[in-house]
Structure 1
Amino acid sequence: MEELTGSAGSDGDIAALAEIVASVESVAAQLTAAQVAEVRLLAQAGQLAEKQASGARANVRVHDMALRAIAAEVGGVLRLTDRTVQQRIGEAREIVECYPAALAEWEAGCLTRGHVRVIVDAGAVVPPALRAEFEREAIARCRIDTPNRVRAGLEILAERMADRSFTDRHRDACTSRAVRVVPGRNGMSDVVASVPTVIADGVFDRLTQQAQSVVDARESGDDDARTIDQVRADVFADLLLAGSPSLDPTATGDAPGVLGAIRAQVQVIVPVLTLLGADDGPVDLVGRSPIDADTARCLAANASNWARVLTEPIQGVVLAVDRYSTPWPQRRYLRARDQHCRFPGCRRAAIRCEIDHTIDAALGGPTALWNLAHLCQRHHSMKQFTRWKVRQLPGGVLEWTSPTGRIYREDAPAPPVFFAPAAIAGSASAPF
């Protein structure tokens, strides 16, 4: 038999690999210890919020505000949004309080974070009285296999222990149906719809049939070279943006307009040089991710109205907003200045936010530009009902102080300013 050479490596290579593997194992152990410690601390943060609200006679709002304030405090040091931290606090409490044995196995290095996540996800349908039994069996299975291999078995095990039928749970799950937009890269995003499986299959099948009809209708020499995936995506967008819903309660009543006539509203910041075709850099879709210059110019060309914003040419600070054809010059100015919610880390677009008086109007705060800023409903409520405090400095700068005294400076985001070689001095940006 021919001896294998080279592929197995020399003794020196094997020794080097052994050292790498040992180092990886050591780092993994340190990472596990840190992850478990973080889970325990986040759970403590959630328990503290519950303690703070304990005297409020089961007032859900008080508890939620306490949790938001604490999540924002922790998010400040982790550089994460308070929404993300609040979700992680909930997950941490579930692990610590409902699956202590699995957490101990993870801490001992017998299970991984992935194993624990699978146990928690599958165990969601298991009644509390049977949770310990489920946890013991799940740990035994996880010790001998990878998370992806044990997932199906644990889900079946959990189903057998569930005290409610799958049909009943599906009926409840339908109440959480929703549509979400997940920003992606290169001006693309994912539209995610959580709907019943049969509806999802039906939607996809109809899109496929319509897309296939478009492909089949192509004639020889047709310039349309789109794949069926691309056509399916285009049909999906066309139907949602221009189609009329079959169930339209405004069609025959006295409600304003009809659902089929509603069009999407977006807020885009387009530098004038991009409008003129002198710059092809990315353009800001406020609250989301950049879009390409061609799309921005197309939106500008078809916009029924748009606001002209004069900016300082170097730093992009908003200097003025035109006041023609609008009864709300302050709102237009603030929308151009703020672009999004002004709580640290939040990117909810200004058109989806509320205009807040930094000094409350009830306390004598004037409705003046230096006392106004956009806050989303979540962070507007936090300002009112938690110990987070804010003051507005010149130039639209907000200075937030957390309950523990940490200070976060939130500068007004400057609209993007780009210069072309032949650019004139000064620049303007147009949100529409």
Structure 2
Amino acid sequence: MEELFTLDLGTAPTVERAGDPGDDAAQEPLGRVNAVPLTVDDIVGRVRTVGKAGGTAGTDELIGALEQMRQVESWLAARKHALVLTAARSAERDHEAWIAAQPTWDESLPESTSTVPARSGLARAERLAIAERSAVAEIACALRIAEGAASTLLTQAELFDARLPGTAAALEAGTITAAAAGVILESAEEYLGLSITDAQTEARVLTAVAQTERFLLDKALTGTKGEVAARARRLRDRFHPFSPRRRQELARADRCVRVGPGRDGMAHLTAWLPAVDAHAIDRQLSALARAALGPQLEDAHDPRPQADPHYGGAPDDRTVGQARADVLTDLLTGPAAATRAGVDAGAGFDASTGARVTSGKGTSSTAQAIDAGTPPAISGPVNAPPSLVLTMPASVLLGGDGPAVFGAFGCVPVEDARRLATTATSFTLAVTVQDDDSPTGSRLVTAGRQYRIPAELRRRLQLRDGTCRFPGCRRDVLRCDLDHRIAWADGGTTDEANLEHLCRRHHVLKHHSAWQVTGPPGEDRADVDSAPPTSASSSPSALHWVSPTGRRYRSDPDDPPF
């Protein structure tokens, strides 16, 4: 790898220590080697020596070492982007060569039926288009990052190369930080990602990119990431090629609500909304929460209300924040939500008194409903039984204490788990063992030459895999395909040993690129070396992926939760 790494920071700013301005060693940046090739071990060795002077190094020397380390980090970031771009282009050329060497599917073979899979593949142009996907997968596995992150790295590398040469040069010279370069990249990405419909718009976009880089580079030479970002926000209003109204329309089109896993049985519910609507919802949640807490809330800004002796009743010790969350939950999952069109939709809170009401007139206007403190009328069925994977020991289901796992959201309180279980219309019983020995009894296997996958086997495989089985992919099995590792048309069987979940992206990659996959040693085709990686022992459900460059990556199913 010597030809790939040359550590040359000779153009980087130097630090002159007070008291000895003529000391060349004090001014020399770390690793000034004048483009002499270095191995990775050489670079790591040099970096490890920075700041190591026993107990004799003074504060000034240590701060100088930190400045030099900042330069090294910038240089490494620049080299990483350059390597990602070069590697991706090389991988794409390799994929094109692989396509040229592969025979096309025989189009005379029959189309798929209910029992026989199709043997017709993608057109040549479509197979060539998979080149970047294969390259991104190779880079992601090598860097041990998600493919989304690898794709972002590649996009940034392309921008550095084609549109931001000044930023790339400053980063490699160590004169700006990687964080500041990231702000410049983010600004340029927004402009270049716009829909360009005419030459005039394209010219405005390119001007915005050039001007933004020029003004942000000036600040990045001395400023922090926050200072560069502040200038970027001001420049955006000045140089953006679209009018404010048009930008608002585009942003509004991206409005959404998402849920993400948290810890200890909690989750994050986030909404991307127009600012006016978001603040209206925020105000109304606060008003309903304070009304629900009642007169015991002594002060509008008191986060922990106490009981009012004149009000009576037990104190409500919820904070306003907790009450806001409860109000939101009640409005969307309580009696008011369980309605159909034409049925009373007025159950909820009275905004003036905070009392729960069980009747009222719904409205089709969300804005009017918020103003009135009542939820809108809802069309169509709601509160349908959820489709989910809830895993718990039988003892917990029957009343014992212990953990329960709610899909990708992790552990949830046992009370919530039992409540969810009561809504289920069917159950799948799964038995797990704690040791490495295979459980006794018969293994679930279908008729070997049957192509259709029985529902019972499909559920078992969902519980086994959890996610897509490509290395690093975390897409849930409910959004994946079930793939015959050895194709049914090539003699593969429809059973647990020959089936795995692959998301559509990696399903296509497996069949239309040089990526190959094997199961445990001895089970798969002979044209791939089935010896497992030496870094870990084999397991019955392990998959061993071989990249186009011959690198091996192991994929194991999710561990049993208990």
Q: TM-score, normalised by structure 1?
A: 0.77
Match of 2:435 in 1: 314
1:367 matched to 2:367: no
Amino acid at match of 2:152: Q
Give the conservation status (yes or no) of the 8 Å contact 1:141–1:150: yes
3-state SS of 2:412 partner: coil
3-state SS of 2:475 partner: coil
CA gap of 1:413–1:314, structure 2 versus 1, over 3 A, is: same
Match of 2:326 in 1: 234
Match of 1:88 in 2: 153
Counting only pairs closer than 5 Å after superposition, residues 250-269 of structure 1 correspond to structure 2 as 258-269=380-391
3-state SS of 1:296 partner: helix
Match of 1:335 in 2: 462
The one of 64, 67, 74 aligned to 1:22: 64
Gaps of at least 5 residues in structure 1 are: 1-12, 249-256, 418-432
The one of 356, 363, 367 aligned to 2:483: 356
Per-residue deviation, 1:321: 9.5
Give the conservation status (yes or no) of the 8 Å contact 2:468–2:502: yes
The one of 204, 221, 230 aligned to 2:282: 204
Counting only pairs closer than 5 Å after superposition, residues 250-329 of structure 1 correspond to structure 2 as 258-275=380-397, 280=402, 282-315=403-436, 328-329=455-456
Gaps of at least 5 residues in structure 2 are: 1-54, 100-122, 192-203, 297-310, 342-378, 446-453, 524-539
Match of 2:79 in 1: 37
Per-residue deviation, 1:388: 1.7
1:398 matched to 2:543: yes
State the Cα RMSD in Å.
3.7
Give the conservation status (yes or no) of the 8 Å contact 2:339–2:381: no
3-state SS of 1:311 partner: coil
The one of 127, 139, 145 aligned to 2:205: 127
Per-residue deviation, 1:246: 11
Match of 2:182 in 1: 117
Per-residue deviation, 1:75: 1.9
Residue by residue, what CA displacement relative to the aligned partner does 1:29-50 show, whole Å, maximum 9, x if unpaired?
A: 2222222211222233444566
3-state SS of 2:494 partner: coil
Amino acid at match of 1:358: R
- CA distance in 2 between partners of 1:314 and 1:120 (Å): 50
Match of 2:361 in 1: none
- CA distance in 2 between partners of 1:132 and 1:353 (Å): 42
3-state SS of 1:106 partner: helix
Answer with 33-42 or 20-29: which moved more.
Answer: 20-29
Residue by residue, what CA displacement relative to the aligned partner does 1:9-61 show, whole Å, maximum 9, x if unpaired?
A: xxxx99643343233223322222222211222233444566678999x9996
Match of 1:215 in 2: 293
Give the conservation status (yes or no) of the 8 Å contact 2:467–2:557: no
- CA distance in 1 between partners of 2:382 and 2:215 (Å): 53
Amino acid at match of 2:163: C
- CA distance in 2 between partners of 1:259 and 1:59 (Å): 46
Per-residue deviation, 1:234: 3.1
Give the conservation status (yes or no) of the 8 Å contact 2:485–2:518: yes
Give the conservation status (yes or no) of the 8 Å contact 2:484–2:498: yes
- CA distance in 2 between partners of 1:362 and 1:184 (Å): 44
Give the conservation status (yes or no) of the 8 Å contact 2:482–2:502: yes
- CA distance in 2 between partners of 1:241 and 1:176 (Å): 25
Per-residue deviation, 1:408: 2.0
CA gap of 1:203–1:46, structure 2 versus 1, over 3 A, is: farther
- CA distance in 1 between partners of 2:167 and 2:180 (Å): 9
Per-residue deviation, 1:333: 1.4
Counting only pairs closer than 5 Å after superposition, residues 146-161 of structure 1 correspond to structure 2 as 146-161=224-239
Per-residue deviation, 1:367: 2.4
Answer with 236-245 or 35-44: which moved more.
Answer: 236-245
1:78 matched to 2:143: yes
Give the conservation status (yes or no) of the 8 Å contact 1:307–1:321: no
The one of 102, 120, 130 aligned to 2:167: 102
Give the conservation status (yes or no) of the 8 Å contact 2:183–2:225: yes
Give the conservation status (yes or no) of the 8 Å contact 1:270–1:284: yes
3-state SS of 1:84 partner: helix
3-state SS of 2:482 partner: strand
Amino acid at match of 1:260: V
* Structure possessing the higher radius of gyration over alpha carbons: 2
Give the conservation status (yes or no) of the 8 Å contact 2:95–2:513: no
Residue by residue, what CA displacement relative to the aligned partner does 1:180-201 show, whole Å, maximum 9, x if unpaired?
A: 4443333433233333333333
Amino acid at match of 1:36: A
- CA distance in 1 between partners of 2:315 and 2:244 (Å): 49
Count of residues in Structure 1 that have an aligned counterpart in Structure 2: 393
Per-residue deviation, 1:127: 0.8
- CA distance in 1 between partners of 2:164 and 2:61 (Å): 35
CA gap of 1:212–1:398, structure 2 versus 1, over 3 A, is: same
Q: TM-score, normalised by structure 2?
A: 0.61
Give the conservation status (yes or no) of the 8 Å contact 1:269–1:284: yes
3-state SS of 1:185 partner: coil
Answer with 97-106 or 210-219: which moved more.
Answer: 210-219
Give the conservation status (yes or no) of the 8 Å contact 1:181–1:191: yes
Higher relative contact order (CA 8 A, sep 6+): 1
Identity %: 30
3-state SS of 1:310 partner: coil
Residue by residue, what CA displacement relative to the aligned partner does 1:55-109 show, whole Å, maximum 9, x if unpaired?
A: 99x9996576322222221222222222322223223322332212012222222
CA gap of 1:414–1:113, structure 2 versus 1, over 3 A, is: closer
Kindly indicate which of the two structures has a greater share of residues assigned to strand.
1
- CA distance in 2 between partners of 1:74 and 1:106 (Å): 22
Kindly indicate which of the two structures has a greater share of residues assigned to helix.
1
CA gap of 1:320–1:278, structure 2 versus 1, over 3 A, is: farther
Answer with 381-390 or 43-52: which moved more.
Answer: 43-52
CA gap of 1:247–1:193, structure 2 versus 1, over 3 A, is: farther
